[in-house]
Amino acid sequence: MNNPVYTVSKKFRAGIIGATGMVGQRFITLLENHPYFETAGLAASGRSAGMTYGEAVEGRWKLDIPCPENIKKMVVHDASDVAGFAEGLDLVFCAVNMKKDEIKALEEAYAKAEVPVISNNSANRWTPDVPMVIPEINDFHLEVIETQRKRLGTKRGFIAVKPNCSIQSYVPMLAAIRDLVPTRVVATTYQAISGAGKTFREWPEMIDNVIPYIGGEEEKSEKEPLRIFGSVEGGVIVPAASPLITTQCIRVPVTNGHTAAVFMDLEKKASKDEIIARFREFSGKPQALRLPSAPEHFITYFDEDNRPQSALDRGIYGGMGVSCGRLRTDTMFDWKFVGLSHNTLRGAAGGAVLIAELLAAEGWI
């Protein structure tokens, strides 16, 4: 992409809460040499507190790219010491493995310490004044931050969240054809093991195996798109009433990349070429602002019958692009297609970093 519209003279100091987990590790690699943010603090559970980061993740580094050497030397803080860790930070990214009520309390504590929280967790996705954002689709939801700040009694602090990783593999395509009014959607997602924070070394049972259940995923996959498509009324987000979505979520033996097989009915008629054109032309605020993590094309449509493939296409635009293919008519529904997104980049840490870039560019942090 061309040079960004928004630049900074001094980088924002970012903390990572849950830094030792897989998504935390992704945050670390994404923030290395980032033009807006620098990693200024790492926090995790009390088990890791006081160790250097290199010691804390020894034998537990899950990514196929190395940990930056300067990060290995940083000392890990206790995430529960909110006042101590928050001092001097401009924002925090949060990706922790805790109970939902504990996560909500932790994220609110950081927000009340006047540190914006960009969360990968699900705990606050249904808090009415917390924006849950796919930046290309519903950036206008950020306006509810003003309502949230009044509730929390903060001037700078707030919480913004990204949605579940699975919905990124089909919701962008539904967003691109909203003018055609999707009414019914059936989506089956085939989800990589990294979505569970695992590698094949840690989860050998997944080799040559498929598990037809992922706890809580189907409810998220059916309901979260309606919040993404929702409106802002009275300072809070009101979910859309349609389309009606039903899903099945299946764990498959793939390292990265969530695939979705989607069937849909549309209220308005359109040709295959018209739908594909909408996919290819769809863009949003990140592309307009040329944000650093924004893919040049949000959706890439493949004409080949055997695309998208997780191994070939999950890394498109650095893992921040979404791809789809095999759009065709169906015997029961109007149309069907296959979608793919990188679950730990667009679907997790990368999506959160893109939200933070948008928040910075629009003056929220």
Residues 6+ apart with CB under 8 A from 164: 122, 125, 217, 220, 221, 224, 347
Residues 190 and 156 in one domain: no
Q: Which residue in this structure is represented by tokens 């997790």? A: 348
Q: Mean per-residue pLDDT for 293-311?
A: 98
Residues 202 and 146 in one domain: no
Residues 215 and 296 in one domain: yes
Which pLDDT value is given to residue 208? 98
CATH of the domain at 134: 3.40.50.720
Residues 234 and 260 in one domain: yes
What confidence tens digit (pLDDT) does each residue in 342-352 have? Answer: 999 999 999 99
State phi, psi for 253 to the nearest 5 degrees.
-80, 70
**Quick check: is 3 in a domain?**
no
**Quick check: is 274 in a domain?**
yes
**Quick check: is 6 in a domain?**
no
Which pLDDT value is given to residue 2? 61
**Quick check: is 1 in a domain?**
no
245 pLDDT band (50/70/90 cuts)?
A: very high
What is the percent of the chain where pLDDT is above 90?
Answer: 98
Which pLDDT value is given to residue 5? 82
Which residues are catalytic, by number? Answer: 165, 258
Which pLDDT value is given to residue 6? 86
pLDDT at 114 over 90: yes
How many domains does the chain divide into?
2
pLDDT at 111 over 60: yes
Using a cut of 0.85, tell me whether the model's pTM lies above it: yes
Which pLDDT value is given to residue 152? 98
Residues 141 and 193 in one domain: no
Residues 31 and 170 in one domain: no
pLDDT at 1 over 60: no
Residues 6+ apart with CB under 8 A from 256: 192, 194, 310, 314, 319, 342, 343, 344, 345
Nearest-angstrom CA–CA distance, 311 and 314: 6
What confidence tens digit (pLDDT) does each residue in 51-76 have? Answer: 999 999 999 999 999 999 999 999 99
Domain span including residue 66 = 12-164+349-361
CATH of the domain at 282: 3.30.360.10
What confidence tens digit (pLDDT) does each residue in 203-233 have? Answer: 999 999 999 999 999 999 999 999 999 999 9
**Quick check: is 22 in a domain?**
yes
pLDDT at 3 over 90: no
pLDDT at 30 over 60: yes
323 pLDDT band (50/70/90 cuts)?
A: very high
